Amino acid sequence: MAGAVMEINEAQFDLEVLKAELPVLVDFWAPWCGPCKMLGPVLEEVAAANDGRLKVVKVNVDENPDLAQKYQVMGIPAMFLIKGGQVIESFTGAMNKAALTEKIDKYI
């Protein structure tokens, strides 16, 4: 679905993130994480506002621990902006739409 946040797993990561044509904002999260829940609606807004320019995906760290370890996720929510298969920016913690948009706009 265009402009929506997509939940993916480790098996989908290569195709959906590393081989994506658009930059991808990857949110590492967990259902028990309060700040992750607060970030959810923000990610939905960012995905909708940047449809066609940015892809937004979520990775559950409890269900995909190897992926979290590969990206050295120490705290959640942890977001990685990946373009051309490479991490170009990362940030940790919940933030509002304006703050998140400011961080990613220079890359998309």
Q: What is the pLDDT of residues 44-58, one digit of tens each?
A: 999 999 999 999 999
pLDDT at 2: 59
Percent of the chain with pLDDT over 90: 95
Percent of the chain with pLDDT over 70: 98
Q: Does domain 6-105 have CATH number 2.60.40.10?
A: no
Using only C-alpha atoms, the chain has a radius of gyration, in whole angstroms, of: 12
Q: Is 87 helix (H, G, I), strand (E, B) or coil?
A: strand
pLDDT higher than 60, residue 35: yes
Question: Virtual CA dihedral for 2, 8, 13, 15, nearest 10 degrees?
Answer: -40
Q: What is the pLDDT of residues 12-34, one digit of tens each?
A: 999 999 999 999 999 999 999 99
What average pLDDT does the structure give for the chain?
95
Q: Which residues are catalytic?
A: 33, 36
Enumerate residues 6+ apart whose C-beta is below 8 A from 21: none
Mean pLDDT of 78-98: 96
pLDDT at 1: 53
Cα angle value 10/12/14 (rounded, 5°)? 90
